[in-house]
């Protein structure tokens, strides 16, 4: 898939085709890009439920031509009861468990993010009723959606650790068995919840009937989250981090996300004057830049209220130069750092007025905590298990603290007037894939779809395991593989178009209004446009 779809009216891209089409329908009806994204976010939470849910977190970057981009931080804090002492009392002293009620320890920010996005959409002149935006999601939850291959596979792979988690089997098994690819799956309780939100408003998720039902079910499941935690939560508008490079300004989310690392990688490559994106040299430089950026991320990025440095200062010229100086252009640096897991979805939308949205929504691991509220059908994330129970740790568990996030949506504004919204799923793969796509399109001159389709790599985690080696799709040439191994990289080859490499996408708007889009052949998505 190398042909880049083009249009002028409006465009969406998502890792599931039904989400793309839900957003395009809104754009065709006169909605703006933010309204389209709310429809897409709701839909993909139903049709791609192993990767995201309304019981997760989300981040947005929204840009209207002639104004500075705005960020929406929709990640919830640790519950008031979620302290190391609580976990010690229930038998956890070394680490927070990854599944079950105790793993569901942070407030889900996703729906509050939709709410704030609707507020910004109104400032853009949006007037579409919420019920219209949630209609597709309600339909698919009530009438059914076809299980995709990755959901079928991951349900089977994770069943042993999830089968006994409260609510999981009832929600995700069909007639007591793992649903196969193409099986029709319905989520009636979730449909009713979405219908309730459409009628009562999104605030009901935190301060209404839905909130009360959620809080009761979470407590029963063993979660420390209580109604008071939900009632206190609201999403926040934040200023994105930015970095000027030759030819463009780049934007990404501030901490607690790893957006700083995504910007730093491209800043380092720019400082190294890397423009050729075709061979082993590009992969090597990008991997080594990633190592430098991740060292800073690992040392500094947590909840910004707990940081001892201003995040923007880590992207100033001196810091970028220092990181660039740490890159050996010939030899791989050792990389014993543990990988950071995380799976998610990224989506983009641009309307006919040029307003662009880069959006990401996640439950952290596949199926999150596994806890599904019986009354609401809401699957809850396990983002909070990334906290440490060691009070001396840089990301120690503290009630009210925001967890570290791999999530980071990206936006680029080119000096020539082009605007590019782009991103990917995939934990630590997100900054790496963002760098590959931007560089291949912005510097290497590849078509947008080709930039997404080209073979990719991943330093760090593959699905289901932690590792620190360098994984390459086997579509790279033998010469490239040989050069990288000779430079000292611990190379592992994985199959072509592997899910390991994430589900990426991008949309570019040209100054004359032309829209170009790309979707990842590794996913189940499409570009939808008119």
- Domain membership of residue 7 (yes or no) is no
Given 12, 257, 344, 519, which residue is catalytic?
344
- Domain membership of residue 78 (yes or no) is yes
> Do 212 and 103 share a structural domain?
yes
- Domain membership of residue 4 (yes or no) is no
> Do 353 and 468 share a structural domain?
no
- Domain membership of residue 190 (yes or no) is yes
**Interval 421-449: pLDDT, tens:** 999 987 888 999 999 999 999 999 999 99
> Do 438 and 357 share a structural domain?
no
> Do 245 and 201 share a structural domain?
no
| pTM of the complete model | 0.96
> Do 149 and 260 share a structural domain?
no
Closest CA relative to residue 27, chosen from 38, 42, 43, 15: 38
> Do 111 and 32 share a structural domain?
yes
- Domain membership of residue 5 (yes or no) is no
Band of the pLDDT at 98, cuts 50, 70, 90? Answer: very high
Range of the domain at 437: 241-342+410-529
Closest CA relative to residue 481, chosen from 466, 495, 471, 468: 471
Asked if residues 400 and 378 have their Cβ atoms less than 8 Å apart, the reply is: no
**Interval 332-391: pLDDT, tens:** 999 877 666 666 899 999 999 999 999 999 999 999 999 999 999 999 999 999 999 999
> Do 225 and 152 share a structural domain?
yes
The token duo for 400 is 């009210």
> Do 330 and 229 share a structural domain?
no
Percentage, residues of the chain above pLDDT 90: 92
Cis peptide before 37 (omega within 30 of 0): no
**Interval 61-86: pLDDT, tens:** 999 999 999 999 999 999 999 999 99
Q: What is the predicted pLDDT for the residue at 407?
A: 87
> Do 166 and 306 share a structural domain?
no
> Do 357 and 269 share a structural domain?
no
- Domain membership of residue 396 (yes or no) is no
Report the distance separating Cα 389 and Cα 88, nearest Å: 9
**Interval 273-301: pLDDT, tens:** 999 999 999 999 999 999 999 999 999 99
Phi then psi for residue 58, to 5 deg, are -150, 160
344 part of the active site: yes
> Do 264 and 313 share a structural domain?
yes
CATH number at residue 509: 3.60.20.40
> Do 337 and 360 share a structural domain?
no
Asked if residues 225 and 392 have their Cβ atoms less than 8 Å apart, the reply is: no
- Domain membership of residue 329 (yes or no) is yes
Closest CA relative to residue 119, chosen from 239, 32, 240: 32
- Domain membership of residue 138 (yes or no) is yes
Number of domains in the chain: 2
């Amino acid at each position: 898939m190398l042909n880049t779809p083009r249009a002028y009216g409006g465009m969406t891209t998502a890792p599931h085709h039904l989400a793309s089409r839900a957003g395009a329908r809104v754009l065709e009806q006169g909605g703006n890009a933010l309204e389209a994204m709310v429809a897409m976010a709701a839909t993909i939470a139903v049709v791609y439920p192993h990767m995201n849910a309304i019981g997760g977190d989300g981040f947005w970057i929204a840009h209207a031509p002639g104004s500075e981009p705005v960020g929406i931080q929709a990640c919830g804090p640790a519950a008031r009861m979620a302290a190391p002492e609580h976990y010690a009392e229930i038998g956890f002293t070394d680490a927070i468990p990854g599944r079950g009620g105790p793993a569901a320890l942070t407030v889900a920010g996703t729906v509050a993010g939709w709410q704030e996005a609707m507020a910004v959409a109104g400032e853009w002149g949006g007037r579409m009723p919420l019920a219209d935006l949630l209609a597709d999601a309600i339909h698919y939850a009530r009438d059914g959606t076809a299980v995709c291959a990755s959901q079928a596979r991951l349900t089977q792979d994770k069943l042993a650790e999830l089968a006994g988690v409260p609510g999981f089997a009832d929600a995700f098994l069909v007639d007591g068995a793992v649903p196969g690819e193409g099986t029709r799956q319905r989520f009636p309780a979730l449909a009713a919840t979405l219908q309730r939100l459409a009628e009562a408003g999104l605030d009901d998720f935190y301060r209404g009937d839905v909130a009360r039902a959620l809080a009761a079910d979470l407590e029963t499941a063993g979660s420390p989250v209580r109604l008071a935690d939900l009632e206190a939560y609201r999403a926040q508008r934040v200023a994105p981090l930015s970095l000027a490079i030759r030819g463009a300004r780049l934007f990404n989310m501030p901490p607690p996300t790893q957006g700083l690392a995504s910007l730093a990688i491209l800043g380092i490559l720019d400082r190294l004057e890397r423009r050729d994106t075709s061979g082993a040299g590009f992969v090597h430089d990008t991997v080594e830049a990633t190592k430098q950026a991740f060292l800073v991320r690992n040392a500094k990025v947590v909840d910004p209220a707990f940081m001892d440095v201003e995040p923007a200062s880590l992207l100033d010229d001196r810091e970028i130069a220092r990181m660039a100086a740490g890159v050996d252009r010939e030899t791989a640096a050792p990389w014993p750092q543990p990988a950071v897991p995380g799976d998610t979805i990224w989506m983009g939308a641009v309307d006919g007025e040029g307003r662009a949205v880069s959006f990401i929504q996640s439950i952290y691991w596949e199926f999150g905590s596994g806890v599904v509220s019986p009354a609401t059908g809401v699957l809850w994330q396990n983002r909070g298990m990334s906290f440490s129970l060691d009070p001396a740790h840089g990301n120690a568990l503290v009630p009210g603290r925001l967890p570290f996030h791999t999530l980071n949506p990206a936006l680029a504004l080119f000096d020539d007037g082009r605007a590019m919204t782009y991103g990917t799923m995939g934990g630590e793969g997100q900054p790496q894939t963002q760098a590959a796509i931007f560089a291949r399109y912005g510097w290497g001159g590849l078509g947008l779809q080709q930039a997404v389709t080209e073979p990719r790599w991943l330093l760090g985690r593959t699905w289901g395991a932690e590792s620190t080696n360098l994984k390459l799709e086997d579509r790279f040439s033998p010469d490239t593989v040989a050069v990288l191994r000779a430079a000292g990289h611990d190379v592992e080859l994985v199959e072509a178009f592997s899910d390991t490499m994430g589900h990426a996408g991008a949309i570019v708007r040209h100054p004359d209004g032309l829209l170009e889009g790309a979707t990842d052949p590794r996913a189940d998505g499409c570009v939808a446009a008119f």
